[in-house]
Amino acid sequence: MSTNDNPTPASDGPTRKQRRAAARASRKTSGSGGASGSAPGGPRSGPSMLVVSVAAIAIGLVAVVAFIVLAGGSSSTETDAVSMPDTAAAPADLRQGRTLVAPDAVDPVVVEAFEDPQCPACGLFTRRIEPLMIAEYVADGTVSFTYHDFVFLGDESWDGAMAMRVAEDMDGKFWDFHNVLFHNQSGENEGAFSRDRLADMAELVGLDRDEFLSKLDDPAYRAAVAASNADGSQRGVSSTPTIFMDGEPIVGVPQWDDLRARIEEAKAA
């Protein structure tokens, strides 16, 4: 047994009781003011701090798992049904192939977009900015808007881009398919744009499923997408979306107010 266990106080130093009292007095005057008596991080509070710390981390872990499950649970997967967007596709009277322009437009501001079907920012542009631009500036002839492929995110991007071209060739449904395609984005190369789901989208816009699938295998569509890619590269496109306004590039998704200001500026010029 060590001498520390000896209950008899040493004659030449403070007793254990005295040392505890001194430590208590020291903590009271050290600025802990009103704490519940424990000094976190101090010698006596070590174990309790450990418990508190472990509990905090555990609660944080549970919270992040719950967050991912709750927030991510709503995302669509390849097993989910293809759905129709709330926003209508571009009006039929504005359509000229892959370009939207009013029939009576005179010298419109030329807006072009290079996009990849799986790029989330392109989805954002298509769902949020494009409808505003079409309603406010394409419909009145101020702007002509053209969609270009710039495909680099993998096989499903290629299939998505080719599918839009097939839809155009089958029944002039490019803009309908474009609308549905970008609305049903989900991850990259995880099945959102599998052939089966693309065929579902084709049916949703009124195309014949079997004919659509057979045309999708036509190498001419792949060649057309490749040609658009080459055109984009030649024009300096290196990310999507890249928007050109009268030939001047805008990289990324512009805020609507910024894009509107640029259109007004180009219109005035």
Partner 1 sequence: MTDVAAAGARGRLGWLMAAFALLATAIALYLGIIKLTGGNPACGVLHGCDTVSQSEYAEILGIPTGLFGAAASAVTLAGSLLWWLRADRRGLLLAYVVGLLSLPILVGLTYLELFVIEAICIWCVTYAVVVVAGWLTATWALWRGGQAAR
Strand partners, 149: 115
Residue 29 CB, shortest distance to partner 1, in Å, is: 6
What's the rounded Cα separation, in Å, for the pair 95 and 139? 11
Nearer to partner 1, 144 or 179 (CB): 179
Cβ pair 127, 183 in contact under 8 A: yes
What's the rounded Cα separation, in Å, for the pair 156 and 4? 75
Name the one range near partner 1 by CB under 8 A: 71-79, 86-94, 97-105, 229-237.
Answer: 71-79
Peptide linkage before 241 cis (omega within 30 of 0):
yes
Residue 167 CB, shortest distance to partner 1, in Å, is: 25
Residue 64 interacts with partner 1 (CB under 8 A): yes or no: yes
Exposure string of 103-138, with b = 16+ CB inside 10 Å and e = fewer, is eebeebbbbbbbbbbbbbebbbbbbebbbebbeebb
Residue 233 interacts with partner 1 (CB under 8 A): yes or no: no
Residue 61 CB, shortest distance to partner 1, in Å, is: 5
Candidates 16, 128, 209, 267; binder of partner 1 (CB under 8 A) is 128
Q: What token pair was written down for 79?
A: 């097993």
| Residues 41-60 as x/- pattern, contact with partner 1 by CB under 8 A | xxx-x---x--xx--xx-xx
CA distances from 232 to 181, 205, 222 (A): 21, 28, 15
Residue 72 interacts with partner 1 (CB under 8 A): yes or no: yes
Residue 26 interacts with partner 1 (CB under 8 A): yes or no: yes
Candidates 132, 223, 227, 251; binder of partner 1 (CB under 8 A) is 251
Residue 74 interacts with partner 1 (CB under 8 A): yes or no: yes
What's the rounded Cα separation, in Å, for the pair 45 and 39? 6
| DSSP state at residue 151 | -
Residue 23 CB, shortest distance to partner 1, in Å, is: 7
Residue 181 CB, shortest distance to partner 1, in Å, is: 17
Residue 250 interacts with partner 1 (CB under 8 A): yes or no: no
Residue 22 interacts with partner 1 (CB under 8 A): yes or no: no
Closest CA to 113 of 257, 265, 255, 245: 245
Residue 29 interacts with partner 1 (CB under 8 A): yes or no: yes
Cβ pair 129, 163 in contact under 8 A: no
Catalog residues that contact partner 1 under the rule CB under 8 A: 23, 26-27, 29-36, 39-43, 45, 49, 52-53, 56-57, 59-61, 63-65, 67-68, 70-72, 74-75, 120-121, 123-124, 128, 187-188, 239, 251-253, 255
